[in-house]
Chains A and B, each alone.
Chain A
Amino acid sequence: MLERRKAPVEMLRYGIILIVLLWTVFPIAWLILTSFKPANDIMVTPPRFLFKPTLDNYIHAIARSNFALFIGNTLYVSLLSTFIVIILASLAAYSFARYNVGGGNLLFFILTTKMMPAIAVVLPFFLIFRDIGATPIGEALGIGLDKRGALVISYTIFNLPFAIWLMVSFFQDISRELEESARLNGYNRLQVLWKVVLPLAAPGIAVTAIFCLIFAWNEFLFAYILTRDAARTITVGVESFFTLRGILWGPVAAAATISVVPMLIFVLVLQRYMVRGLTFGAVRG
């Protein structure tokens, strides 16, 4: 770091970085560009970089399919499951971080449930929800096949292990002395948790929530298997523009853009915590 930098080396460095960034960003940029292209500029050789932007694809996507419904479903399912996950996970994670319940074994067992291949889990889930949906309780709660409740439960289970692990790492960062002095001042354990720990952990909880929201929003397999029309989400709905006459790439791009762009914004917000989140809290970069 102390040596004087040579200009050609630095140019080479930034040159390569530029190529890498073009490679990572280009597919996303091309997706967004394609969504604004007129139909006759999409299926052409060579690809067109200049065109008159239009909203036709968006209009088509929303008018020709249940796209508004898909968006609504995605919002409902990802927000509600995230909310439930955060409540359950913050209680559990606090307990793991402070009292070390199960000496680490239980915590690791929780992580292994996430290692199951989703495809192996989805069929038993299919049968569970088919059976629950046939009962009056399932009908009243909206849990069953092609019901949003089934996805809310699935995503809650999916994100719980992740959320618990990440939050344990955030709770471990909070100083214990503060809690102890609150205890000495007459707070009981619940009050300590509610009035001292949770406010301090708020940033960590928010970060965990955004991660859960992204994972639920982007989930494909469960939505694909457990829903048909009424509860379908965007990630699966994008495929509805695969017609017998071929793939309508314009509307596909429009639908995909609607699905991708909000998450791009969230990821930029999460920047600093990306590494921590994706390593289950292990690397606190």
Chain B
Amino acid sequence: MPSTSMSAPQDSRAEPKKQRRAMSDTWFSVLLILPAMIIIAFFALYPLFYAINVSFRLADLTHGGIQGFVGLENYRTVLFDKFFWQSVGTTLFFTVFAVAIEVILGIFVAFLINGATVAKGLIRSLLILPLATAPAVTGLFWRYLYDTQFGLYNYFLKLAGLPQPNWLGDIDVALWAVIIFDVWLWMPFVALIVLAGLQALPKEPFEAAELDGAPYFRVLRKLTFPMLKPVLFLVIVLRTIDALRLYDAVAVLTRGGPGSTTETMTYYLYRQGLVFFRMDYASTMALLFLYAVVVAALFALRPLLNMFSARAGAR
């Protein structure tokens, strides 16, 4: 908003001088975004319309491809599909525990690093390394780390005298193996953001609290956490949306197994669409899923992003 109010008077002063082919600001701005928008609109909307269309049809690619309209039949099938709900449950379980552990550990690590006096740069550099790696590649290698015979994790557990689970083969453990991998990959991201939030806090209130002799945990509860709240919300929302879409790690670590204990929604979608070629079910599920994620983004992410950009604008 400030942009128009600031540049408009400039333009009206400049225009009389060179009136030749004064393109309006609106046209200029639209021209700039047009190339990107055409591409996004086509390649984002085409899959969407494709999915909507197919979700109302019979579409078994192994039997005659995309066929006639069946109304809401696919929606009925999906909503009464036991395995669909099981995959929703698995996804929610994964999301809740992975995000919770990442956020709690991330906050803890951020506080530790924030208080550190030496080697802060080195610590940060080492911490962010997992973020550079492709989950599909490191996830694959984690199968070796999780191996019951040759794996490092069970070797260390044995040294410590702890039980050595069959990480990827035990139906009670496999989902936790995926969660642990996700925590390894994303906890540093949470820590990094919280650290940035901590370093951006104003100094004065804390110095005042210290002069008053306020105890540490009271300062945390009354000052630090309330001021960190926006950053924490943002990271929780971003991680949640991402965790709901988990695919790569499952695909390379467990392939949904053992049984279907680690079959998340995206992996079930993959099997329906690209293994069984039931495009009708797959598209219907994709739409339900997309709807949930977009609602989450609209009501949780958007207000947060707006707040941050307003704050940056005020600076």
Contact = CB atoms under 8 A, between A and B. Distances in A.
A120 B141 contact: no
Question: Number of contact residues on A: which range applies?
Answer: 35 or more
Contacts of A123: 47, 273-274, 279, 282
B134 A259 contact: yes
Interface string A102-133: 00101010111101111111011101100000
Interface stretch (A20-28, A58-66, A198-206): A20-28
17 contacts: A98-B3, A115-B297, A117-B247, A117-B269, A180-B6, A189-B28, A221-B248, A235-B137, A236-B136, A252-B141, A260-B132, A263-B133, A264-B133, A267-B131, A271-B128, A282-B308, A285-B196
Contacts of A164: 36
Contact of B116 (A13, A252, A284): A13
A253 to B, nearest CB: 7
Given A47-B150, A91-B36, A100 B129 contact: no
Given A17-B123, A24-B127, A124-B46, A101 B136 contact: no
Contact of B29 (A89, A101, A156, A218): A101
A25 B32 contact: no
Interface of A: 1-3, 5, 10, 13-14, 16-17, 20-21, 23-28, 30-31, 34, 42-47, 88-89, 91-92, 94-101, 104, 106, 108, 110-113, 115-121, 123-125, 127-128, 153, 156-157, 160-161, 164, 169, 172-173, 176, 180, 183-184, 186, 189, 214, 217-221, 225, 234-236, 238-239, 247, 249, 252-253, 256, 259-260, 263-264, 266-268, 271, 274-275, 278-280, 282-285
What are the 5 tightest A-B residue pairs by CB atom distance, in nearest-first order?
A285-B196, A120-B286, A218-B134, A99-B29, A220-B136
B88 interface: no
Nearest to A104: B306
Contacts of A275: 192-193, 195-196
A117 B266 contact: yes
B12 interface: no
A278 B123 CA distance: 19
A99 B290 contact: no
A34 B251 CA distance: 23
Interface of B: 1, 3-4, 6-7, 10, 14, 18, 23, 25-26, 28-30, 32-33, 35-37, 39-40, 43-44, 46-48, 50-51, 109, 112-113, 115-117, 121, 123-138, 140-145, 149-152, 155, 184, 187-189, 192-193, 195-197, 199-200, 206-207, 210, 231, 234-235, 238, 241, 245, 247-248, 251-252, 265-266, 269-270, 273-274, 279, 282-283, 286-287, 289-290, 293-294, 297-298, 301-302, 304-306, 308-309, 312-313
Interface of B is mostly: helix
Contacts of A21: 123, 126-127
Contacts of A14: 116
B132 A125 contact: no
Nearest to A87: B35
A40 to B, nearest CB: 12
B240 to A, nearest CB: 11
